[in-house]
Amino acid sequence: MSAVYRHGFWFKLVLAAALVALADRVFYQGGHSHGWLGLFGAALVLAAGLALPALRQDRRALAALAVALAMAGAMAIDATILPFVLFWVALGLAILLPGTARFDDGWRWAQRLFAHGFKALFGPLIDLFKLARSHRRKPQAVAGLRRTLPALVLPLAGSAVILALFAAANPVIEQFFASLSLPFPDDALFERLFFWCFVSVVVWGVLRPRRSRPFFGTFDGSGDLALPGVSPTSVLLSLIAFNLLFALQNAMDLAWLWGLMPLPGDMTLADYAHRGAYPLIVTALLAALFVLVTLRPGSQTAASPLVRRLVLLWIVQNVVLVASSMLRLYDYIDAYSLTRLRIAALAWMGLVAVGLGLIGWRLLKQKSAPWLINANCFAAALLLCTYAFVDTGAVAAQWNVRHAREVDGTGAGIDLCYLAELGPSALLPLIELESRPLDPMLQQRVKMLREQVQYRQAQVLSEGGWTLLGEYRLTRAAALGAVLPKAPPNPRYDCSGQPYEAAPVS
């Protein structure tokens, strides 16, 4: 079999049919198991590598394909939306990169990925039209097919009559044909056909990528930009004023928030620290925007040594401000417990600090706008890919359990309602909390909540929501001695400790 045929249209068609069959077996017949998204994703990555030889010859594409495979693994562990989205972004980059001479920047690639996804919706129709057009260009082949079909009528019809007679005389043959009878069209059949069509479109979009040029160019971000009220003098004065204001805020944070000096009057650390970290992050983002707009590489303001020093000083002060914001949030967590949203906020603050550093480096080294876009995209991608493998709900639950006032006597009171919201992520921390010496009433509530969560996790796995992480939770829970309820728990108390109303007796 030649390489041209092996990697040609028909080979891709066979691969697509195999992937549709796999999707039908895993998702449709297999009960929609969430964890098997990872298996299907890995199969899709393998099929792309087989069908697109140019992909295997491009190091950039191979790197993107490796990321897609890692995200398929993350989906097998826990099929959440983040690794799902990252998988398709990485796979889209992998199949489109061989068609480009260089990477250019993230803004252009966002446009390419959007256009590829839109065109993929119509990919099978486009290829069908191309196939029909190619047959019209080969009249000899069509004429040969027309000559062959009449010659097949007699043997096929005669064989059908003979088989019908044999089926009437032989019950074994009759049962065989009865087993091959087509099902009556119903809603389930149409639903399954729609599922096949949907998977076919998705798979065909990967095996037959649709390349296009970006619609909009990248904002250059260099040279002077004419803005009312913006001049070298106004920028210099602004930077002096901004540095003084930031120095005042940072000095107060260093003195009081970081514990170098006692707070004035009756003000407590909670009053100061819990005022709010998010407005300070908004301030840092506005500072970044100011630098990007008024101190573009190659502009008159950026050429001034004094302005450049003031900008770098201001960026350093912004990074200190972000660090203080993170400390404020940490103190808030210490007082009011940890949540998924607060973990995301800490990660976002770290990303803001990295972005500020990249802006300063761009100014020092006269880097281009595409460089800044790509550097920030890389930092964000690295953070998100790491995030895809972390169960932040379990992290929050573990923190809250180990730092609860009921456990160590110093933290926030345990919030069982939030642990109930976390669901299966809180299972192992609840088992740990249940093993602690607690007030008998609280101990009973924790046990009831743990049984609810454990039973629900087992139910999800049995109903098609299987994931590696879910399986691990139940296995680990059994190893820790937590007994899985055989029937749905019916607790006397909800998460807030209020008794349920008794059901009326019928």
217-268 residue pLDDT tens:
666 555 555 556 677 888 888 889 988 988 998 888 888 777 777 767 666 6
Averaged over 25-52, what is the pLDDT?
Answer: 85
User: Is it the case that residue 500 has pLDDT exceeding 70?
Assistant: no
Q: What is the pTM of this model?
A: 0.80
Q: Is 328 exposed, middle or buried (0-12, 13-18, 19+ CB in 10 A)?
A: buried
Which range is most confident: 148-152, 272-276, 413-417? 413-417
CA gap 423, 210 in Å, rounded:
41
Say if CB 414 and CB 401 are below 8 A apart. yes
Averaged over 158-186, what is the pLDDT?
Answer: 69
Domain ranges (residues) in the chain = 1-217, 232-390, 394-479
Query: Which residue has better confidence, 156 or 45?
Result: 45
Residue 283 has a pLDDT of 81
The span from the first CA to the last CA of the chain, in angstroms, equals 74
354-395 residue pLDDT tens:
988 988 888 888 888 888 889 999 999 999 999 999 999 999
Tokens of 121: 């919706």
Residue 88 has a pLDDT of 96
Nearest to 27 by CA among 189, 188, 187, 192: 192
Residue 490 has a pLDDT of 66
Range 244-247, long-range pairs (CB < 8 A, 24+ positions): 246/314, 246/317, 246/318, 246/321, 247/317
Query: Which residue has better confidence, 8 or 484?
Result: 484
> What is each CA distance from 367 to 101, 105, 219, 275, in whole angstroms?
21, 13, 13, 38
